[in-house]
Amino acid sequence: MDNFGLHTDLAHFLKKMPLFSSIPDEQIRKIAGCFWVADYQRDTVVFLQGDPSDSMYVIYSGAVLIYANQSKNNETPSLEIELGRGDFFGEMALLSDLPRTASARVTLDARLFRLKKQNFQDLLHHNRHIGLYLSRLYARRLSFGTAGSSMKPAPVFYTVSATDPALGLSYFLYSMSYHIATESDKKVLVIEPYLELENNMRKFGLQPISCPDESLYSLLPAQLFTPDDINWFCHPSGFCVLQVNKGFNPRLVDILSRLMENFKSCYDLVIFGLGHHFGPFARQAVRLCDKNLLIINNTQAALPGVKEKLASLENIAGTGLDRVRVGVSHLCGTIGIPRETLKKILHLSETPQIWVEKSDKAMNDEIDTEKRFPVKGARAIARELAGVRIGLALGAGAARGWAHIGVIKMLARENIHIDMIAGTSMGALVGTIFAANGSVEHLVKTTIARFERRSQVRRKIFDYTLPLHGFLKGQKAMNLVAGAIGHADFMDLAIPAYVVGVDILKGEEVLFETGDVAKAVRASLSVPALFVPIRYNGRWMVDGGLLNPVPVNILEQKGADKIIAVCVENPHPEAKLTDRSPGIKQVIARTISIVHGRATSGFVQHADVVVYPDVQGFAWDDFHRGRVLMQRGEDACTAKIEEIRALVRQPAGR
């Protein structure tokens, strides 16, 4: 194959990888042209620990072992991970600009595509979602210590700033700190470069305290500050605030990095509240911090100022993994720009969330201490920073999927708040209806309560057609979802949800996260030959379970720190003995069930807890047996509840 053919093939291959999947086809082809191809025989060393970092690699075929030693004298590797087709490696050293922290050796003849450092940096600069994906991937690995010695440490330093003085920055900053402190074991310090009066601090419930550790002052120049110039406050939840009477002198800029090291020795998260004006100190803080959060006003009149502030912030922060995140405040203005439009206008890596709602507490600068569900606003960002977000993966399984409802019911009873949901086929239907408003009662009312008898199933779900492309039109199933969620768009869902389908002509997995929810669920439900395929966004879509029966990997990509998976297809389907020849619908359903079941074990291996409801003996079309199936889900979740509680209590990675 010539180089043109190789790179054309690579472009198609890259498009299937989560890292590159959101890049337009034209740009993918350009990126593919930047890679160098190399073939390696078994036992060839690609690079050694300590070598200079100059490239990242994508494995096109073969296998590569990544291994690291804690010291040169230690012959036992402290890290050993074997990677295969579609995996990538070597990018972390490029991001940190440090020597290789691990070695790479080929264990099975491999073809690798190599991207040099400058090309990789250009890729990050022009495709911000790649930085977001990598950032979330590493956060997930760090949460449970699977990262090994080659991983970059978890983010510690954050800045929070705003584009306008009336966007509720203090409300957001202190509410976020409260929820981090109460939902994790992380010690949080907020640094306020701009002086707030003590009575304002008391309004937030912050009380004056003495300095918790005098060593924090060891680097302060005596001629600039004395301990009496520095005020400390503490909230009953545990987070602390540091203020300086005179404000932060610009002469501190040169020693800020050393001061930050002092703070890092005592706190897990250090957050600088920077207001909306950037002086020398604020600019240095932005440059040195791992992440920078920006609260924006989303009105049309404010847009030029937002663009200018965002460009300034990104210019200071530099290229990196998701260095700047944007959220919307609703405290100013009445008619805002839609968030999907903002994403395009501002070239953001993802659709911005609403960080500050127009509430009494936000308007009056009071900490919002309520543990609301669905999770949103300052608490949602707090759970992300704390590394405690819970994802729920709901698998395919036709009528057996009603068991998902029992699992959700049990989690709600235990007050376990789900931060995001990914669903395939029937899991997509159940998951998106629950995601509409986070109500189990509404979920039951709009699903199994409507199908108590088989005759109701036939009337309300089964819409038979001439079996040219499938037995069922699927329109009634789509109407069921649309009615249950109020014809919502993905942006309208109270809980972020993701739906998996398959492009039957290209054989590619398709992730739905924008647009019409009901249509996406209809696509994911389309079991080949049972349902007529649906044309959606120019693709012929069928059952997502063909390629991803339990979408755990989607939750990993979206940043879930702890993942609960629910499987209603048995990895070893039971054999039914019968003298009768199975009908065509039974053969089709049974075939799909076997495909789903055999594939399930590989897809749930990255989940932290897997729930297997006992659904043996239930047919694919037993939709009228929802109450029994829901109870099976409850029972299975009850059996796993101690494991789930332990997962929720497990401290996030530091």
CA-based nearest residue to 547, from 515, 524, 567, 521: 524
CA dihedral of residues 234, 240, 245, 248 (deg, nearest 10): -170
Known catalytic residue at 543: yes
CA-based nearest residue to 525, from 441, 648, 620, 434: 620
Active-site annotation holder among 425, 524, 526, 593: 425
Question: How far apart are the C-alpha atoms of 230 and 265, rounded to whole Å?
Answer: 19
CA-based nearest residue to 518, from 551, 493, 495: 493
Q: CA angle, corner 11, sides to 8 and 16, nearest 5?
A: 140
Is the distance from CB of 385 to CB of 269 less than 8 angstroms? yes
**Residues in CB range of 159: below 8 A, 6 or more apart:** 271, 272, 273, 274, 282, 285, 286, 289, 291, 292, 293
The two beta strands, 207-209 and 230-234, are antiparallel
524-527, long-range: CB < 8 A, 24+ apart: 524/423, 524/424, 524/425, 524/428, 524/429, 524/499, 524/500, 525/425, 525/426, 525/428, 525/429, 525/474, 525/477, 526/470, 526/474, 526/501, 527/398, 527/425, 527/588, 527/589, 527/592
Question: How far apart are the C-alpha atoms of 492 and 211, rounded to whole Å?
Answer: 46
Question: How far apart are the C-alpha atoms of 8 and 253, rounded to whole Å?
Answer: 49
Question: How far apart are the C-alpha atoms of 642 and 630, rounded to whole Å?
Answer: 20
Question: How far apart are the C-alpha atoms of 121 and 289, rounded to whole Å?
Answer: 19
Active-site annotation holder among 268, 419, 463, 543: 543
Is the distance from CB of 440 to CB of 430 less than 8 angstroms? no
Is the distance from CB of 216 to CB of 206 less than 8 angstroms? no
Known catalytic residue at 229: no
Is the distance from CB of 280 to CB of 254 less than 8 angstroms? no
3-state percent helix, strand, coil for the chain, nearest multiple of 5: 40, 20, 40
Is the distance from CB of 216 to CB of 262 less than 8 angstroms? yes
Burial class of residue 547 (count of CB atoms within 10 Å of its CB; 0-12, 13-18, 19+): buried
Amino acid at 473: K
Tell me the CA distances in angstroms from 124 to 91, 118, 322, 327, 341, one per residue in order.
11, 10, 9, 21, 22
State the residue for tokens 């109020």: 486
Q: Which two tokens stand for residue 13?
A: 């291959």
**Residues in CB range of 166: below 8 A, 6 or more apart:** 331, 332
Active site residues: 425, 543
